[in-house]
Structure 1
Amino acid sequence: MKRILTAALAAVAVGGVALQASAWGNTGHRLIGVAAVRGLPEELPAFLRTPGAAAEVGELAREPDRTKGGGQPHDRERDTAHFIDMDDQARVMNERGMSIDALPRLKSEYDAALVAAGLDVDDAGYLPYAIMDGYQQLVRDFATWRVLNAAEARETDPGKRAWYREDRLRREALILRDMGYLGHYVGDGSQPHHTTIHYNGWNRDTPNPEGFTTSRQTHGAFEGAFTARVARLDAVEAAMAAPKLEGFDLRARVPAYLKTTLAEVLPFYRLEKAGGFTESDARGGTFVTARLAAGASELRDLFILAWRDSADDSIGWPAVKVAEVEAGTADPWLAMYGDD
């Protein structure tokens, strides 16, 4: 529980400003969600490509932090989703933990492997699984929306058509919610402190040859007040990478993304030591912008990829193929409405 308790303690006031212990605080998560939605191409549904949808996802990207403190088992199952503590070789916690490139298929298997290695599951975190789960949920959301949208357009029975419309609107609200939740965890994954054992000052139990700060205010000060002061939407959007959509493999993509962020831990601490996060130094703002843009780019790509994956999905019970419903060769009524 050390990781979670330290994060809670980091929420104390520093210099009169209450600092967030959650990755990026409110500003960073909002910007990542908004920038990702604003970057969506025309192939995605029109209801997503609106200023309202961008604002909604930006707000909902904060939700996993806002729901903390519900008690047990709520908090245990959610608080550890926000991070994964890797050592400098991208192993979970230390040399006894598995490589980020060799994660077990299931989170339960991951937990069991950590326990068998004598490592604390709560300290380790399970961010990769939160991202993968969120992506898979969004694929299911999009598949359901595709079926409802196609069926509504073709249905001649007024009662059924009205139900399809109502359920489509319900699904659109759920899609925005689930995009926000995925956005939160992808955003966590772009914050270097959420990928490392050096998550709040350099880990005092490891060698520190460059004399990096060990201050327990490091994490909160960076992602909270500092980010809120320097981060700007236009700068984040300008720094976003071109989409990377070819050869997608979810179980390879997520670890690769998190390792890219882990590689920014050492640059962060070197910049902090050099005074880069003071008001008079522009380097800190550049670092924040690059990290937020990395999160927004990855999130935009995952939204697009989830939409594309949904075209090959089957949904409902008895299951219907999305492609067949969209082609008009299958009637999804029983799959969608149900036949008790």
Structure 2
Amino acid sequence: MKRLALVAAVCALAVAATPVAVSAWGNTGHRLVGIAAVRGLPAEMPAFLLSPGAASEVGELAREPDRTKGGGQPHDRERDTAHFVDMDDSGRVISAAGPSIDALPRLKSEYDAALTAAGLDVDDAGYLPYAIWDGYQHLVRDFATWRVLNAAEKREIDPGRRAWYREDRLRREALILRDMGYLGHYVGDGSQPHHTTIHYNGWSRDVPNPEGFTTSRQTHGAFENAFTGRVARLDAVEAAMTAPNLDGFDLRARVPAYLKTTLAQVLPFYQLEKAGAFQERDARGAAFVTARLAAGASELRDLFVLAWRDSADDSIGWPIVKVAEVEAGTADPWLAMYGED
């Protein structure tokens, strides 16, 4: 439980003194990832997502998983560990005894069992891949429900039913923005190198440090909060975003690949830190921050689009209806949406 204990200790110090609390990119970074991702959405997405208001809302909601910390148990055990996955330099969780990021068990419970069998503390490992997988799958269900409600509202001739479809569609739109924010938070965490490594707050003292990197426990918070807040700019992040990558999508493979890409930036971070690049407004450090935020925004934008596309082939409600059939006008979703009891 070293990592969670460290977070708690740093947060306590932040109240009494001046150190910055460790909180995954901080407010500025998470806002920018969420806003840039939504602003980058293509025209195929629902119109309610293509507005400045939607981008702003997702940006604010992307901060929410940090704002709910400290709720007690089991809330904190399940949620605080979702912000990170601590890999060694080869991509295994915690150490060579842990599972490879490329071969994670299907369920969190199986992951916990594998860690326990290896003699590793599950609280030290982190659930970030599972948080992203779960958030994506939930968003697909949101979009599937919205598709059905939207199509039914347009075709319904009964005034009472049509009014209910409209009200439920608006409720669903609010939920979609909230769930996009939550997914955005974890995808944003996945672009911050400290959230993918055993070197999460200074170089780990449990492994060799031949290049003499800092072991300061202020490293993480100072980088993602104070420094990022000074140098990060939305226009720079948007300019650095990559082209959409939407072909050959496999959720179970894509998330580990994304996290490994971030893990590869741990060593460059510490080399830059050693060179003094994260002081004041150093251009080298600013470029690193921009690239990492752009990586998070690009991945998040793509996951939003892929979730929307996946939802077209989904089934939803009870009795189950196929989204495609409702959108084609060949199925009546009233009982599936409103309920038959």
Q: TM-score range by the shorter chain?
A: over 0.9
Q: How many residues align?
A: 339
Is it true that 1:269 corresponds to 2:278 in the alignment? no
How far did 1:20 drift?
3.2
Q: Which residue of 1 aligns with 2:220?
A: 219
How far did 1:23 drift?
0.7
Is it true that 1:311 corresponds to 2:312 in the alignment? yes
Q: Which residue of 2 aligns with 1:187?
A: 188
User: How do residues 16-35 of structure 1 correspond to structure 2 at under 5 angstroms?
Assistant: 17-35=18-36
How far did 1:17 drift?
5.0
How far did 1:10 drift?
3.1
Give the Cα–Cα distance (whole angstroms) in 2 for the partners of residues 324 and 208 of structure 1: 59
Q: Which residue of 2 aligns with 1:257?
A: 258
Give the Cα–Cα distance (whole angstroms) in 2 for the partners of residues 189 and 281 of structure 1: 24
The TM-score, its normalising length taken from structure 2, stands at 0.98
Q: Which residue of 2 aligns with 1:62?
A: 63
Letter in 2 for 1:277: F
Letter in 1 for 2:10: A
How far did 1:9 drift?
2.7
SS of 1:222 mapped into structure 2? helix
SS of 2:38 mapped into structure 1? helix
How far did 1:306 drift?
0.1
Give the Cα–Cα distance (whole angstroms) in 1 for the partners of residues 312 and 290 of structure 2: 34
Residue ranges of structure 1 left out of the alignment (5+ in a row)? none
Letter in 1 for 2:227: F
Is it true that 1:97 corresponds to 2:86 in the alignment? no
Residues 227 and 281, structure 2, Cα contact 8 Å, conserved in 1 = no
Is it true that 1:209 corresponds to 2:210 in the alignment? yes
Q: Deviations over 1:262-287 (max 9, x none)?
A: 00000000000011111252100000
SS of 2:204 mapped into structure 1? coil
Q: Which residue of 1 aligns with 2:111?
A: 110
Letter in 2 for 1:189: G
How far did 1:205 drift?
0.9
Q: Which residue of 2 aligns with 1:82?
A: 83
Given the superposition, is the C-alpha separation of residues 280 and 52 from structure 1 closer, same or farther in structure 2, using an over 3 Å criterion? closer
Give the Cα–Cα distance (whole angstroms) in 1 for the partners of residues 237 and 8 of structure 2: 28
Given the superposition, is the C-alpha separation of residues 270 and 177 from structure 1 closer, same or farther in structure 2, using an over 3 Å criterion? same
SS of 1:257 mapped into structure 2? helix
Is it true that 1:196 corresponds to 2:200 in the alignment? no
Give the Cα–Cα distance (whole angstroms) in 1 for the partners of residues 290 and 14 of structure 2: 25
Q: Deviations over 1:130-156 (max 9, x none)?
A: 000000000000000000000000000
Give the Cα–Cα distance (whole angstroms) in 2 for the partners of residues 128 and 86 of structure 1: 12
Is it true that 1:9 corresponds to 2:9 in the alignment? yes
Identical aligned pairs, as a percentage? 85
Q: Which residue of 2 aligns with 1:168?
A: 169
Give the Cα–Cα distance (whole angstroms) in 2 for the partners of residues 283 and 236 of structure 1: 15
How far did 1:163 drift?
0.3
SS of 2:215 mapped into structure 1? coil
How far did 1:250 drift?
0.2
The TM-score, its normalising length taken from structure 1, stands at 0.98
